[in-house]
Each structure stands twice: as structure tokens, then as C-alpha cells.
């Protein structure tokens, strides 16, 4: 894996992605949690082809500003770029941004950790007893 890996994803804002419909507010605009999910998914997909078999990434940190509202029906897209790999090779830092058809709607940084998928899921399931 190398620095500079880029991700891109596009979607159209639908009613089910609005703040009033996902529990993050009362307004009929693209919800911040849905923007964050789009950013996370774009970053994860961008590095997935470079991971060893059985490995995946999980989000560990998000530092993003949501700077403009987007109505239903408008297209949004996400751009991510891998800008840092921790010395241990396990923590990936991305520069991230989201845009609608009028311009920038969100930007910041996002970190993901490389984990062994089965082991990670088993550890989470062990909390059930």
C-alpha cells in the first residue's frame, strides 16, 4: 500500500438520507451521519484492493466539518486520499471531502485501522457472553 491512493463515489440524495428521516435533526437536508458514512465507505473501498486476504479496515476516527446543506434530489460525491500510514502499518489517515453540485459540503480527515476481519468480528460477538 502506498500514499496517494484515491477514492471517489457519487450518489443522489434521497428522502431516506435526510436528517429528519435518520434521527439526526428535523430538517429536510442531507444528514451529517449519512455524509460521514459516504466518506467512510469511499475511503474503505479505495484501499480494499491493497489489503491481504482476510483483512479489512474499520473506522477509528472522523474529524469532518459539514459546511453546507444539500437538498434531496441533488448529487453528492466523496473524494478521499490516503495521506499517512502509521509506522506500524496498521493505521491509515485520509484527507476527505464531500461535494454537492454547488460545491464543497464537508471536509476533514478520517482514520481507519487494518484488522483481521474474522478475529475483529469474533471479539465483538464475545461481548454477548
* From 12, 14, 15, 40, active-site residue: 40
Q: Is the pLDDT of residue 111 over 90?
A: yes
Q: Is 80 a catalytic residue?
A: no
Residue 90 parent element (H or E): none
* From 66, 79, 80, 93, active-site residue: 66
Q: Is the pLDDT of residue 7 over 90?
A: yes
Average pLDDT over residues 91-107: 98
59 is in an annotated binding site: yes
55 is in an annotated binding site: no
Q: How many CB atoms lie within 10 A of CB 10?
A: 11
Residue whose C-alpha cell is 437538498? 71
Q: Is 32 a catalytic residue?
A: yes
Cell, residue 84:
499517512
Residue 19 and residue 31 in contact, taking contact as beta carbons nearer than 8 Å: yes
Q: Is 110 a catalytic residue?
A: no
Average predicted confidence (pLDDT) for the chain: 97
The CATH architecture that domain 6-128 belongs to is Roll (3.10)
What residues does each domain of the chain span? 6-128
Cell, residue 42:
469511499
pLDDT at 129 (0 to 100): 82
Task: Give the CA count within 13 Å in the CB-facing half-sphere of 78.
Answer: 27
pLDDT for 35-91, tens place per residue?
Answer: 999 999 999 999 999 999 999 999 999 999 999 999 999 999 999 999 999 999 999
Cell, residue 126:
464475545
Calculate the alpha carbon distances from 50 to 21, 40, 43, 47, 53 in Å.
36, 17, 12, 5, 9
Amino acid at each position: 500500500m502506498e500514499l496517494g491512493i484515491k477514492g471517489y463515489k457519487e450518489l443522489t440524495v434521497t428522502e431516506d438520507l435526510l436528517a429528519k428521516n435518520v434521527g439526526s435533526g428535523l430538517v429536510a437536508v442531507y444528514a451529517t451521519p449519512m455524509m460521514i458514512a459516504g466518506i467512510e465507505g469511499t475511503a474503505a473501498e479505495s484501499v480494499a484492493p491493497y489489503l491481504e486476504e482476510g483483512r479489512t479496515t474499520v473506522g477509528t476516527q472522523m474529524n469532518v466539518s459539514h459546511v453546507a446543506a444539500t437538498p434531496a434530489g441533488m448529487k453528492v460525491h466523496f473524494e478521499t486520499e490516503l495521506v499517512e500510514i502509521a509506522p506500524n502499518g496498521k493505521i491509515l489517515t485520509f484527507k476527505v471531502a464531500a461535494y454537492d453540485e454547488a460545491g464543497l459540503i464537508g471536509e476533514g480527515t478520517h482514520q481507519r485501522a487494518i484488522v483481521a476481519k474474522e478475529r475483529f468480528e469474533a471479539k465483538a460477538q464475545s461481548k454477548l457472553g
